[in-house]
Amino acid sequence: MPKLFIKTFGCQMNVYDSARMRDALSVHGFKETEEPDKADVILVNTCHIREKASEKLFSELGRLAQLKKKNALVVVAGCVVQADGAEILRRSKLIDIAVGPQNYHQLPELIAKYNRKNGRVIQADFPAESKFDYLPDPQKSSAAAFLAVQEGCDHFCSYCVVPYTRGCEYSRPMKEIVAEAKALVKAGAKEIMLLGQNVNGWHGDEGKDLGDVIREVAKIRGLKRIRYTTSYPSEMTQNLIDAHKDTPKLMPYIHLPIQSGNDRVLKAMNRQYTVKEYEKIVAKFRKVRPDIAISSDFIVGFPGETEAEFEDTLRLVERVGYASSYSFKFSARPGTPASLMKNQIPEDVKTKRLMKLQALLLKQQKAFNEATVGKEFDVLLTEKGKVRGQLVGYSPYLQGTVVKAPVKMLGEIVRVKVTGASATALKGEIVK
Ligand code: SAH
Ligand code: SF4
Ligand code: F3S
């Protein structure tokens, strides 16, 4: 049996894509391995979002060059291929096949037909057909699974490459989503995270929105938890917000990236909402679900951002109170309008701002975690802990939670009493 090694960079969508590529190849006899030196096919799934993310491909290829079997086939997939396919083939002689995010259903065929003598292959157009029509049902699933319901983005934030790497918005029909969710549950999923670059922009069935998808998926027996990400603030519907009230399986957590707490910066970013509008949406979530955990993404040092404008972001964070967050220094990406803007912010200023913001976000995260000490909730055990005899799972609020439990309990949902908290994790005991 040929062996397949996969290395995945980037967002949850890439993790999902890697699972689908693994499944597509597994029906052709490939077996996944964790050891790159044993693999016949090495697959690197790449991310283009920031410069650092993009460069990871080349450090990984450098590492693999030392390890790989002489005749192993090297496949590069993902957003870097879509953005820069020809260039990466030029930069690394190691790559045999490059395949974009909308073409990976063709991977089994590309591999089967590949012949070094005929030259390297790049497949990165946006095909008319949907890859979802060609991919097999999920063959394997972890207890917490991902399911892409929407892909691509029409927002064109001025800093972002995603509309170019993933293409325009496409929503999968409800029927297809429910069928895939059922297959995931059959394969062992207890929780499903519905994914989309603009997930709450889902419009796969006439007159319906993501709230309806969630209620439909919630009917699947054996599925215990539902999450979704990433939402665009101004596309939030009351129907979706209400799902947090009427659908118990939907977890009390919303990732709602604001990016900046200043209206002028938001406008320059081409984000289609104001700070005030964002805070109104947050209030609506808290009205239906007062305990909801809110998280966000932030960019500091966007071109032209003044110190006062940056401080507006700190004030916004103080007002909202986040359970967790991701924050980044602005990275000028080729082909985006923001990369050409004047008044690029010096690196050291960006670094200072990022440190200040992250200190505040971490303080909030710690406070949020500490407030759960003494409480009891369900935890889905998904990973082995660093220490033997420990497992790690996630609380309804997506807090990583460490408990003492035997490996055989992986994949189970257990009742946990929280006994301790840090900024990044909870400690708890399973209660009988
Ligand atoms: N669709 C999602 C986010 C996708 S990218 C949304 O709109 O929220 C994930 C995060 O990466 C973004 O929210 C943003 O904070 C960050 N990001 C995207 N492009 C970036 C860039 N050029 N520089 C720095 N951060 C960036
Ligand atoms: Fe990128 Fe903006 Fe689309 Fe998010 S909404 S993927 S940040 S263009
Ligand atoms: Fe990266 Fe592509 Fe996801 S650029 S963040 S892997 S959509």
User: What pLDDT sits at residue 91?
Assistant: 95
Higher pLDDT, 119 or 210: 210
Instruction: Give the model confidence (pLDDT) of 162-204 as tens digits.
Output: 999 999 999 999 999 999 999 999 999 999 999 999 999 999 9
Residue 427, helix vs strand vs coil: strand
Name the residue at shortest CA distance from atom 2 of ligand 2.
157
By most ligand atoms within 8 Å of CB, the mutation choice from 16, 47, 195, 198 for ligand 3 is 47
pLDDT the model gives residue 235 = 97
- What does 237-290 look like in DSSP terms, one character per residue? -HHHHHHHHH-TTB-SEEE---B-S-HHHHHHTT-SS-HHHHHHHHHHHHHH-T
Tally of domains in the chain: 3
Ligand 2 pocket (Cβ < 6 Å) reads 153, 155-157, 160, 162-163, 197-198, 232
* 356 and 423 both lie in a single domain: no
Rg of the Cα atoms in the chain? 22
How confident is the model at residue 276, as a pLDDT?
98
Amino acid 118: pLDDT = 87
Pairing of strands 390-394, 324-329: unpaired
The secondary structure of residue 28, as a DSSP letter, is: T
Alpha-carbon separation of residue 256 from 204, 293, 299, 352 (angstroms): 21, 10, 14, 24
The helix-helix angle for 275-288 and 307-320 (nearest 10°) equals 10
**Of 123, 143, 163, which residue constitutes the final position of a domain?**
123
81 plus 175 within the same structural domain: no
CATH of the domain at 325: 3.80.30.20
pLDDT in tens, 257-309: 999 999 999 999 999 999 999 999 999 999 999 999 999 999 999 999 999 99
- Looking from the CA of residue 336, the nearest atom of ligand 1 is 22
- For residue 331, which atom of ligand 1 is closest to its CA? 23
Indicate the average pLDDT of the chain.
97
Residues 396, 276 within the same domain: no
Calpha distance 183→135 (Å, rounded): 13
Q: Tokens 């924050």 label which residue?
A: 327
Q: Round to whole Å and give the CA distance between 48 and 334.
A: 10
182 and 151 within one domain: yes
Instruction: Report the pLDDT averaged over residues 237-245.
Output: 98
Residues 215 and 300 both lie in one domain: yes
Same domain, residue pair 93 and 186: no
| Residue 116's pLDDT band (cuts 50, 70, 90) | confident
End-to-end distance of the chain based on CA atoms, in angstroms? 44
User: What is the rounded CA–CA span in Å between residue 183 and residue 204?
Assistant: 19
- Cα separation, 338 vs 160, whole angstroms: 8
305 and 231 housed in the same domain: yes
At 396-428, the pLDDT tens digits run 999 999 999 999 999 999 999 999 999 999 999
Mean pLDDT of 355-370: 98
Residue finishing a domain among 123, 149, 175? 123
Residue 117 pLDDT class (50, 70, 90 cuts): confident
Residue among 9, 14, 49 whose CB has most ligand 1 atoms within 8 A, to mutate? 49
Please give the pLDDT value at position 334.
96
Mutation pick for ligand 1 pocket among 156, 328, 339, 353 (CB with most ligand atoms within 8 Å): 328
Among residues 351, 370, 389, which one ends one of the domains?
Answer: 370
Q: What is the CATH number of the domain that holds 32?
A: 3.40.50.12160
- Same domain for 220 and 326, yes or no, is yes
Q: Which of 101, 99, 165, 98 is nearest to 130 (CA)?
A: 101
Contact 73, 40 (CB under 8 A): yes
CB atoms within 10 A of CB 55: 11
Sign of CA dihedral 360, 362, 363, 368: positive
Structural domain boundaries, residue 11: 3-123
Same domain, 89 and 153: no
DSSP class of 331: -
What's the per-residue H, E or C state across 111-171? HHHCCHHHCCEEECCCCCCCHHHCCCCCCCCCCEEEEECEECCCCCCCCCCHHHHCCCCEE
275-286 pLDDT, tens digit per residue, is 999 999 999 999
- pTM equals 0.97
Burial class (CB in 10 A: 0-12, 13-18, 19+), 343: exposed
Distances (CA, A) of 4 to 29, 30, 67, 95, 173: 10, 6, 14, 15, 31
Whether 128 shows a pLDDT value over 90: the answer reads no
The answer to whether residue 432 scores a pLDDT higher than 80 is no
Give the number of the ligand closest to the Cα of residue 166.
Answer: 3
Identity of the amino acid at 431: V
Domain co-membership, 140 together with 289: yes
Q: What is the mean pLDDT of residues 42-60?
A: 96
Residue 104 pLDDT exceeds 90: yes
Same domain, 272 and 342: yes
> Furthest-apart CA pair in the chain: how many Å?
65
C-alpha 257 to ligand 2 mean position (Å):
10
Rounded Cα distance, 6 and 61, in Å:
12
pLDDT tens-digit series, residues 62-80: 999 999 999 999 999 999 9
pLDDT surpasses 80 at 352: yes
Co-location of 145 and 277 in the same domain: yes
